[in-house]
Chains A and B, each alone.
Chain A
Amino acid sequence: GEDVEQSLFLSVREGDSSVINCTYTDSSSTYLYWYKQEPGAGLQLLTYIFSNMDMKQDQRLTVLLNKKDKHLSLRIADTQTGDSAIYFCAESMDTGGFKTIFGAGTRLFVKA
C-alpha cells in the first residue's frame, strides 16, 4: 500500500537542531522528498534523496534514509525562527504515470 506517516508537531529552541521523522510503506519508491510550506504559500521543495542513497547533506539540511526500515529523517541544523513552517515528507513512484504521496505534515515551532 501507499502511506507516508510523520509526527504532527515539533517544537525546538532557536539555535538547536530539529529532526523531523517520516516512515513510508511503498518499497518501490524511487525518490523521497522534503517540502516546506509556509502560511498562505504553496509547497517549496527543500531537498530530495534517491532511494539507493543513505544520506544527503545540503547546507543546514541533512537527510537520512534507512531503506530497510523505510524511515526518512530531515535534520535542520541551527534552527531559526524563519524555519517555522509545515514540513512534508513525500515519496514518488512511476506507476505508468507520475504519482507523489505526501505525509500529513509536521508543524515545526521555533521558539526564540
Chain B
Amino acid sequence: KAGVTQTPRYLIKTRGQQVTLSCSPISGHRSVSWYQQTPGQGLQFLFEYFSETQRNKGNFPGRFSGRQFSNSRSEMNVSTLELGDSALYLCASSPRGVTTDTQYFGPGTRLTVL
C-alpha cells in the first residue's frame, strides 16, 4: 500500500498570498488530520476530517480552512499568509479516525512565507 502523500513538498509564498496544500491518505483510510509543526510551538492540531465532514478543529484563526473530497483526499488552505505561518504542515490518515486506530503521517509540506 502506498503511504500518505503530500504535495507540494516545498512551497515559498509571500505575505498576503494564499496557499493550498494537498494530502492523499492511504487507500481505504477515511480520516485525515492536519498538523502545523514549528520550532517554537511544536506540533499543533489544525483539524480532522472524516467522510467529507470536519469533526474537530484546533485553535487556529479562520484563515486556516480545509476540506475533504469523496475519495478521502484532503486539502487545506491558508489565506492572507503571515510570516508566522511558515512551518511544516503534516497530514495523517487513519482508517476510521478513532483512538484505537494508528495514524500514519505523510512527509509534510514545508511552507516558507517571505
* Chain A complexes with chain B: yes
Q: Mark A residues whose CB is within 8 Å of B.
A: 30-31, 35, 41-45, 48, 88, 90, 92-105
**What per-residue 1/0 map shows which CB atoms of B4-39 lie under 8 Å from chain A?**
100000000000000000000000000101010000
Q: Does B68 contact A (CB under 8 A)?
A: no
Interface contact A42-B43, CB-CB below 8 Å: no
Q: List 23 A-B contacts (CB under 8 A).
A: A30-B100, A42-B4, A42-B90, A43-B43, A45-B102, A88-B43, A90-B43, A96-B55, A97-B50, A97-B56, A98-B50, A98-B56, A98-B94, A98-B101, A99-B33, A99-B48, A99-B58, A100-B33, A100-B45, A102-B42, A102-B44, A102-B45, A104-B42
Cβ < 8 Å to A, chain B residues 86-102:
90, 92, 94, 97-102
Give chain B's interface secondary structure class: strand
Q: Does B66 contact A (CB under 8 A)?
A: no
**Highest count of chain B CB atoms <10 Å: which of A43, A93, A94:** A43
Interface contact A95-B90, CB-CB below 8 Å: no
Give chain A's interface secondary structure class: strand
Interface contact B55-A92, CB-CB below 8 Å: no
